[in-house]
A and B are shown apart, each in its own frame.
Chain A
């Protein structure tokens, strides 16, 4: 039984290492993504908060203003 477990474990570890090697090749970005305006926008919008007059909080997404203005 131990033999089976060892064989399966070797297969599993081998497949994981192969996948990781493949992922590290694929994991490189071939253009300057992290300095792009869009990347900066994502980071800003992901965490940005504004406080409304009623005390509630919302994100900085400017399209919030397309909601019923009477609600604000």
Chain B
């Protein structure tokens, strides 16, 4: 192997290591895995399962974009668990951290009650808001109990879509696939 090839190899290796979602493993270790708080990293990993090329773009994007601190990820996770297990449809929970100029909100939209053999019974649709320095991001998810049958749900076009995450007794699906 000549020197130019070796340098190219090191460069690619360095870029690949830099793009790895390191903060995700820290969030996972501390059980602060609210999908909206870790969305870019989760979405990049999710894309490796369904896209041939797009995942590389998403990995690069998540490596360069501003994200919540670990404490704020935990705050978002706290209200998510509170909302999914404790709030009724239409109710919401919020947090605010003036020190970082960040805030978050979860609003439960609806809970699906299954009537037939197949369906999304037990799933809860919710909106998640995250504000960093006055920039608001909105996410919509479908959270489903574990025994729904499989990790994959069929989207509106009939394709099986894997969940973004299994966490705290719920599978989380990006709602964009079901619209």
Q: Is the CB of A67 within 8 A of B114?
A: yes
Within 8 A of A (CB), among B116-155: 116-117, 119, 121-124, 145-148
B101 to chain A, nearest CB (A): 14
The residues of B that contact A30 with a CB separation of less than 8 Å are 71, 99
Say whether A21 faces chain B, with CB atoms less than 8 Å apart: no
The residues of B that contact A63 with a CB separation of less than 8 Å are 111, 122-124, 145
Report the interface size for chain A: residues with CB under 8 A from the other chain: 38
Q: Is the CB of B169 within 8 A of A46?
A: yes
**Given A23-B22, A38-B82: A68 in contact with B115 (beta carbons within 8 A):** yes
Contact count A vs B, C-beta below 8 Å: 114
Q: Is the CB of B122 within 8 A of A64?
A: yes
Say whether B167 faces chain A, with CB atoms less than 8 Å apart: yes
Distance A39 CA – B73 CA, assembled complex (angstroms)? 13
Q: Is the CB of A66 within 8 A of B122?
A: yes
Report the interface size for chain B: residues with CB under 8 A from the other chain: 45
Say whether B70 faces chain A, with CB atoms less than 8 Å apart: yes
The residues of A that contact B147 with a CB separation of less than 8 Å are 58-59, 61, 64, 67
Say whether B157 faces chain A, with CB atoms less than 8 Å apart: no
The residues of B that contact A58 with a CB separation of less than 8 Å are 145-147
**Given A26-B70, A59-B169, A68-B116: A8 in contact with B10 (beta carbons within 8 A):** yes
Please list 13 pairs of residues, one from A and one from B, whose beta carbons are closer than 8 Å in the complex, sorted by A's number.
A12-B10, A26-B70, A31-B71, A31-B74, A38-B78, A39-B31, A45-B168, A61-B122, A62-B85, A63-B122, A64-B122, A67-B145, A68-B116
